[in-house]
Structure 1
């Protein structure tokens, strides 16, 4: 995946890490310090915005987010599936209390922090994607929490509804509990064909990065999702986010100042 300029982490993700630092790193105190630093950088960036940067921000508004994300699932499911080797694993019923219980499987083959793709790893990815997708109902944060955007892990608290970021965070939790390294699991922000901002989980493997998505039962290579890629985490670091040079986009003029691109990203949160 071609990476671009650095980007600020979404503000609501920082709030999540502040509430649940254990879900954002192995050392909670380090995570909390990182959150404080990132929030200070965000505030300084916005305070230093020039008129040119603000004009660029106004001309690049975030994509609309509707209440009908769940309605797209049926249409995507009805699409022609990938090859037989990419068929989702058999569905398994999931209760909130066992969502993060690691499977009793052989250790994964690892190269540094990147798991080696194998039939075993493929089955794990499909199992987790299917389990979490079936664990709760897709709803907006307004309906669930009374807030426009609120990142959470609903399964951990017995909540049976949430939106795309919640699916991502639960899948990340489940895969870490299942033995995958945090460095291989990254949050990605995309734009759907319907123009909606959407979050997915990227899993780095020896065969490339694959996407776990609540709007599809299929685990797919990142460049076969039909999405336009905006930004992502790098190496599982909660505070290392970058823009993505989406090959589906036409080249755009260079920004007037380096701050512009980061401000546009900050506006998505």
Structure 2
């Protein structure tokens, strides 16, 4: 998955992190401070946007879908044996062009290599595969889908309904509960990334991406099956990076063909010039 420019985290997600900071990071103080910075950045950006741009941004939030997308199917629950072999390509989840500022410190090369290995994505093992499918199915069954407007009286409210003792939620609530359950089950937070997509119906939707050494896999309330991200029938818009609540990046559409290069004028051969001059 190729990432592009930095993106703003969804406003309703920032509000969720302000209410429940430990669901967005291990240090509540750091999360609250980062949420305040995200709010300030959004306010500064909004001041530069036209009314048309503000209206477009307001309707880009995920929307609850009342019935499953017919394109979401899977042949079987079988463990994909091809994932047992090492990935043939470099890790797709690496950020290639995301404009994200990181701190730099000089460390011993051996320590740096060990830290990089420890911080890398988990291997896709039969144990992890089983865990992803089990939690995806469990959360999908535990929550009854209902819009935020019907449940909370507002169009976009992110929360963890099971943690709050609620039975209802929409797509982003499924995502937050799966993220919380997987962290509790031992999956590192850095491997769990919320992603915003557009469905085949043109509706906004949210899914959970699990980044592994075999690639990114999708946990979705619209499907009982955990699938590689390329097989999900969505147009990918933006996602978290390395599990950081406030580090988001745009996703480059893999189906979009690159712009054709401008054709250079062909150089005429001397023989052609001679024939043309005789006509």
TM-score strictly above 0.5: yes
**Structure 2 residue 177 is matched with structure 1 residue 170:** yes
Q: Distance in 2 between matches of 1:16 and 1:57?
A: 21
Residue 55 of structure 1 deviates from its aligned partner by 5.6
C-alpha contact 2:2 2:251 (8 A) present in aligned 1: yes
Whether 2:200 is the aligned partner of 1:204: answer no
* SS of the residue 2:206 aligns to: strand
Work out whether residues 86 and 219 of structure 1, in 8 Å CA contact, stay in contact via their aligned partners in 2: no
User: Following the alignment from structure 2 to structure 1, what is the Cα–Cα distance between the partners of residues 249 and 232?
Assistant: 19
Structure 1 gap segments, 5+ residues each: 88-109, 253-269
User: Alpha carbons of 1:64 and 1:7: their partners in 2 closer, same or farther (altered >3 Å)?
Assistant: closer
Structure ID, larger Rg:
2
Per-residue deviation, 1:66? 6.0
Q: Counterparts of 1:35 and 1:64 in 2: how far apart (Å)? A: 18
Q: Which residue of 1 aligns with 2:197?
A: 190
Cross-structure match for 2:157? 150
* Match of residue 40 from structure 1: 40
Aligned residues: 224
In 2, distance between residues paired with 1:206 and 1:13? 27
Summarize deviations over 1:208-259 as a string: whole Å, max 9, x none: 010000000010001110100000000011110011101124568xxxxxxx
Instruction: Judge conservation of contact 2:71–2:233 (CA < 8 Å) in 1.
Output: no
Change (3 A) 1:250 1:60: farther
Distance in 1 between residues matched to 2:60 and 2:45, nearest whole Å = 22
Unaligned runs of 5+ in 2: 82-116, 260-279
| 1:6 matched residue in structure 2 | 6
CA shift for structure 1 position 59: 7.4
Whether 1:226 and 2:233 are equivalent positions in the alignment is yes
In the alignment, structure 1 residue 85 sits paired with structure 2 residue 79: yes
The two structures have a TM-score, normalised by structure 1, of 0.77
In 1, Cα distance between the equivalents of 2:204 and 2:164? 25
